[in-house]
Amino acid sequence: MPVRLCLSLLLLTSAASAADRPNILFIVCDDLNTHVSSSGYEHIHTPTFDELAASGTTFTRAFCQYPVCGPSRASFLSGLYPESTGILDNTSDIRQTRPDTITMPQFFKEHGYWTAKVGKVFHNSRTNPGELAWSNNQPRYVNDELPVVTAARLKFEQQHGSIDLPQNRRRWRTVMKDTLAPLNAQTPPGHGRSGLQDEQHKDGKNARQVLRWLQNKDYGDRPFFITLGIQKPHVPYLAPDKYFDMYPPEKIPFFRNRSDLWDSLPKDAAVKRYESFGFELGVENPSRRREFMQAYHACITFIDAQIGLVTQELKQQGLWDNTIIILTSDHGYHLGDHFLWGKVTLFDIGAKVPFLVRAPGVTTPGSHSEAMVELVDVFPTLADLADLPAPAHLQGVSLKPQLLDPASVDSRDYAYSVVTRGQKMGYAIRSQHWRFGSWPSGEELYDLKADPHERHNLAAVPDHQQRLIELRAALKERQQMARGQR
């Protein structure tokens, strides 16, 4: 048979096999902790999360590998631990630290998938691989002009003329900064009612872009790999007014911290972001805490509604039964837990993420798994579910065995997370029962069954010294594996 004919038949066979593969929708939220109903948090309204949980598998012990956006995303998009990616901050690029490493979207594109992203997927546009990974590399959307800005602009233009006039630009920037300060600032984090409709927010636009791809069938005759990057509930906590109405502050419950909590904890385990929120370490401020929690919860219910538009469109287009969906977050988030706010900690609330998988024909509807899951498992799991050979460099494991048998917890003994403190690092491993943290300034040990909120550090308790020895050895093994050492 002529070589050209053989090649043509090979390409036709490859195209045919690609067309038979399942579609993939990967949804990753930004700064979302486990305050969703599918994770057992009862004080929130997230019907889309519930629907996906009811039709798939909920992993109740899923953890990021680094509780900051850039390192976490570089990790799960490459299937490598942060110590192997070399990405330990929000500015480094894996293409410089590990040239030629194939990321997840590039892998699926090379295997015949139509790949598209919208919203925040890679941490920023500079680290996004562009056409190498994406068939459609949608630029990031921005929110429409907020009504408070519109009012300020009209008032300004009545007095000074158009804001586009060269002589007005600097003055208008000052006015706009002052106008947006209560809503858009980083310190203290902006929060409040946006005055916009869902579709005017960037996440509303992100979801509706996915709708257009599905409705227009931009993927053609190929299976699609669509990544929907949801920006909320990242600060500023802005959402349409109706979502704030759902959470009256006085009805928001929370666990109160002991004032002496930090007396027994390594100082490195904390970050001072709480100061930016207007709090003091060791001092509760219930009304201010509820104010921020209301805004954070409003953002969560808002994004749940946007994700719901996409899942409904999959059904409308007849794609629901042939589309794998993974819904998760890049890391967890403190809302006053341990008196802390924001990210960059190794407490469970800082590293634990919602993790839902719906794989038609594989997952058991409404099932739960207590397997120890890491975000580095996303890449090998999707490759396995698509019946594709996973790249050799991957350090995660496929969760398909746990999807087929949710009672199985054999994925790994420990989940592993790290974070930097200056030039040094903190490390944590978690088992079904224990969490061990190692810092330059000390250690942490929590009995997660008796103390799930990690309020009692047992590292100095004499009865647990042998356990500490065992966990130190286990941590050393995980460190070696994460660094690519076998």
- Which two tokens mark 127? 């680290």
pLDDT in tens, 292-342: 999 999 999 999 999 999 999 999 999 999 999 999 999 999 999 999 999
Residue 275 neighbours by CB under 8 Å, 6+ apart: none
- In angstroms, the CA 373 to CA 410 distance is 10
The one-character DSSP state at 465 is H
Average pLDDT over residues 9-15: 45
Is the predicted pLDDT of residue 40 greater than 70, yes or no?
yes
The one-character DSSP state at 189 is B
- Lowest mean per-residue pLDDT among 88-102, 173-187, 400-414: 173-187
The owner of tokens 């190929």 is: 222
3-state secondary structure of 280: strand
Is the predicted pLDDT of residue 234 greater than 70, yes or no?
yes
Average pLDDT over residues 458-472: 97
- Beta-bridge mates of residue 119: 229
Is the predicted pLDDT of residue 57 greater than 60, yes or no?
yes
- In angstroms, the CA 114 to CA 448 distance is 43
Is the predicted pLDDT of residue 68 greater than 60, yes or no?
yes
Predicted pLDDT of residue 135: 98
Write out the H or E segment, with its range, that includes residue 327.
strand 323-329
Relative to beta strand 237-239, strand 114-119 is: unpaired
Torsion angle of C-alpha atoms 52, 194, 272, 447, degrees rounded to 10: -20
In percent, the amount of the chain with pLDDT more than 70 equals 96
Domain with CATH 3.40.720.10 in the chain: 23-143+197-400
Q: Alpha helices, DSSP H only, in 86-168?
A: 94-97, 104-110, 147-160
3-state secondary structure of 342: strand
Top CATH class, 23-143+197-400: alpha beta
Residue 96 neighbours by CB under 8 Å, 6+ apart: none
- In angstroms, the CA 296 to CA 143 distance is 17
- For all residues of the chain together, what is the average pLDDT? 94
Average pLDDT over residues 199-214: 98
- In angstroms, the CA 317 to CA 127 distance is 33
- In angstroms, the CA 373 to CA 314 distance is 27
- Which two tokens mark 401? 């065995």
The owner of tokens 């809503």 is: 183
Q: Which pTM does this prediction carry?
A: 0.94
Predicted pLDDT of residue 1: 52
What's the pLDDT band for 10 if we cut at 50, 70, 90?
A: very low
- Which two tokens mark 394? 């991957």
In percent, the amount of the chain with pLDDT more than 90 equals 91
